[in-house]
Amino acid sequence: MGRIDREHDVSIDAVQDQRAETRRRTAEALPLTGNEAIARGAWEAGVKVAAAYPGTPSTEILESLATYDPADITAQWSVNEKVALDTAIGASFAGVRTLAAMKHVGLNVAADSLMSFSYIGAHGGLVLVVCDDPGIHSSQNEQDTRLFARLAGVPVLEPADAQEALDYVKAAFDLSEQFDTPVILRGTTRLSHTRSIVTVGARTETASRGFIGDHTRTVTIPANARRLHPKVIAREAALSQWMVTSPLTKRDDGTDRRCGIVTSGLAYLYVKEAAPQFPVLKLAGSYPLAADAIRDFAATVERVIVVEELEPVLEEAIRAMGIPAEGKSLFPRLGELSVELLREGLAKAGLVDMPVPLAPIDITPMARPPVLCSGCPHTASFYALRSVGAHVAGDIGCYTLAAIDPLRSMDTCVCMGASIGNAVGMAKAGTEKPVVATIGDSTFLHSGIPPLIDAVYNKADLTVLILDNHITAMTGGQDHPGTGRDLRGAAAPRVDYAALCRAIGIDWVRVVDPYEVGRLLQTLREATAHRGVSVIIASRPCVLDPVKIKGAPVAVRASACIACQSCMNLGCPSITWSGELFEGRHKVTIDATTCIGCTICAQVCPTDCIQPVTRGAPN
């Protein structure tokens, strides 16, 4: 039990040095992803401070910025998205160019700061990069950041490819300082992860403007806010004219004037491939609207069709201008767009022939349900949870997979940090079963501490299981305040979760190794029987990040296997059915190439038929 150990603080200096050399180059062209291009654009624009919380599809922006010279730019992970934006706002107050990055749902967390900062305005240029996730590849929803931009009164720019990602970031900083406003750069999953040749340039150093020093502007008490709000409205009108005259707003003349297409961002590329014959107005962004440009464009075509991903933001705004635009009657309001969807929509509008459907491919794909990694420490935690018969409020992380078979030991999952608050509500509502909240280490630091304090303050009866795998695993192994390393891999202070919990008034705190299944199970039983708040910290490093762990594998003695399925209920991808039967049921086998020797399966096996491999597999 617990046989796999390794030093967590793995050196990444060599990798960082290699990436830094690539980033420092000022060659004419480099192959960059959209996120790398955003980082490059920020560096070229003279950004001094950048902060983010990792979240797909935005994660690589700060990872790329961290490879530039620290003398040029301070790049850091923040504990959550609001703290990242607040850090950027502070740097803007101090007069330097600054950037914050996050995924779309992260803007929900940072929105409070954004709404007020819109009134204050940017002293040093501030760009907020928000990456949406149409199609919900790795998120809990597919909300449209453009709606936030309008709510906050903040302009949004929408690049279409990696080259524009770099160029638009630089333009966004100029725009921010020219109009005294934060600027949102909206990316999407497809833009973030595209890769193409990008023309790059040198860094332009921008002198600090010095501290803003005007409390009538920077302190948003009601008297100041009432005076500042009209400036936001006036700024909107000025920004609308900028959108009209900006070279980022482009117009392509087509040969078929039966319709003109208004679009922005990545959708432009789909339009040019699906319908190159139609005139296109490519807007720099969706807010504020380039109204005059749209009116002029609409006057030259018979119909106006709007192509945009997710919500009908442009379509509704254009209709409000009195122009009978079409859009979501032809194209879906959810998921990613594609060339095929555009052709189908235009065919529906009678503008092109209906595409010939592709011949179906007669194959049956192999069923590959998502599972935790072989040896994942979360596996044992949720396997043990099943035995205590609790209502389990879950959270965002790799461990959300415990909601499905075969672990099936999580009842709810709403958003980052919601598990403990949800558990408080369950406990207060009254239930015969114990209540457990599960939350990862990074998520706990992100937004789990306030609800834990609330649970103590309101005397809730619940257990909190902190799943500490020493890294931000789901987004690719980023560090956080509990890992002891910063974004650039340097040593940093490390949060002591047990001490933190005791400091807020929790007396019942235990630290266990989830690979010790028996001890974990016993601790869970004691914790759920405790009246009040109890905390278990299940501490064991992730098996993949920052390095992959591989210990001696285990194997099945087939002669002793009774096909009881105890090990199969772990959902470990290394354990599969074998060809041998026992009383009509399949026995199991373990893939030695993927097994990491965690011994969890051996501990739950009732016949002791799973043993470490010493000289060949057991038989």
Q: Does the annotation place 501 within a ligand binding site?
A: no
Could you tell me the fold of the domain covering 250-348?
Rossmann fold (3.40.50)
Residue-level pLDDT at 579: 83
- Domain ranges within the chain, ordered by starting residue: 13-245, 250-348, 377-539, 554-612
Give Cα 341 distance to the centre of its chain.
26
Identify the three-state secondary structure at position 464.
strand
Q: Does the annotation place 376 within a ligand binding site?
A: no
- Contact indicator for 402, 410 with CB cutoff of 8 Å: yes
Name 588's bridge partners.
577
Cα–Cα distance, 212 to 204 (Å, whole number): 22
Identify the three-state secondary structure at position 399.
helix
The hierarchical CATH code for the domain 377-539 is: 3.40.50.970
Residue-level pLDDT at 546: 81
Cα–Cα distance, 205 to 607 (Å, whole number): 69
**For 331-335, which contacts have Cβ atoms below 8 Å and span 24 or more sequence positions?**
331/307, 334/134, 334/142, 334/310, 335/134, 335/135, 335/142
Helix (H) or strand (E) holding 582: strand 575-582
Cα–Cα distance, 198 to 183 (Å, whole number): 23
Helix (H) or strand (E) holding 281: strand 280-283
Buried b (16+ CB within 10 A) or exposed e, 12-27: beeebeebeeebeeee
Rg, C-alpha atoms of the chain = 27
Q: Does the annotation place 595 within a ligand binding site?
A: yes
Give Cα 535 distance to the centre of its chain.
27
Q: Which residues contact residue 14 at a Cβ distance below 8 angstroms, ignoring those fewer than 6 apart?
A: none
Cis before residue 406, ω within 30 degrees of 0? yes
Residue-level pLDDT at 13: 53
Helix (H) or strand (E) holding 233: helix 222-245
Largest CA distance in the chain: 82
Residue-level pLDDT at 368: 74
Cα–Cα distance, 391 to 261 (Å, whole number): 51
Helix residue ranges, H only, 506-604: 517-529, 600-604
Cis before residue 134, ω within 30 degrees of 0? no
Q: Does the annotation place 572 within a ligand binding site?
A: yes
Residue-level pLDDT at 17: 56
Name 132's bridge partners.
188
Cα–Cα distance, 189 to 191 (Å, whole number): 6
CATH number 3.30.70.20 given to 554-612: yes
* Dihedrals phi, psi of 515, to nearest 5 degrees: -70, -15
- Contact indicator for 220, 89 with CB cutoff of 8 Å: no
Cα–Cα distance, 295 to 324 (Å, whole number): 11
Sign of the alpha-carbon torsion through 262, 169, 109, 541: positive
Helix (H) or strand (E) holding 611: strand 610-612
- CB atoms under 10 Å from CB of 278, counted, come to 24
Sheet strands side by side (includes 391-393)? 391-393, 435-440, 462-468, 533-539, 508-512
Helix residue ranges, H only, 45-159: 60-65, 81-93, 104-120, 145-152
Q: What is the DSSP string of 282-326?
A: EES-SBS--HHHHHHHHTTSS-EEEE-SSS-HHHHHHHHTT--EE
Q: Does the annotation place 413 within a ligand binding site?
A: no
Buried b (16+ CB within 10 A) or exposed e, 437-447: bbbbbbbbbbb
Cα–Cα distance, 567 to 572 (Å, whole number): 8
Sheet strands side by side (includes 250-252)? 250-252, 280-283, 260-264, 304-307, 325-326
φ/ψ region of 526 (left if φ > 0, alpha if ψ in -120 to 50, else beta) reads: alpha
CATH architecture of 13-245: 3-Layer(aba) Sandwich (3.40)
Residue 402 DSSP symbol: G
| CA proximity to 120, closest of 190, 234, 215 | 215
Q: Which residues contact residue 73 at a Cβ distance below 8 angstroms, ignoring those fewer than 6 apart?
A: 42, 43, 47, 48, 49, 50, 65
| CA proximity to 295, closest of 333, 256, 236, 251 | 251
Give Cα 97 distance to the centre of its chain.
24
Q: Does the annotation place 561 within a ligand binding site?
A: yes
Residue type for 533, please? V
Quick one: 308 exposed, middle or buried, by C-beta within 10 A (0-12, 13-18, 19+)?
buried
250-348 matches 13-245 in CATH topology = yes
Identify the three-state secondary structure at position 474.
coil
| Mean pLDDT split into 10-residue runs, the chain, 619 residues | 40 51 67 97 97 96 96 96 97 97 96 96 97 93 94 97 97 97 97 95 93 91 94 96 96 93 96 95 96 96 96 96 96 94 94 83 79 93 93 94 91 95 96 95 96 97 97 92 93 96 98 96 96 97 87 92 92 90 89 93 94 65
Identify the three-state secondary structure at position 18.
helix
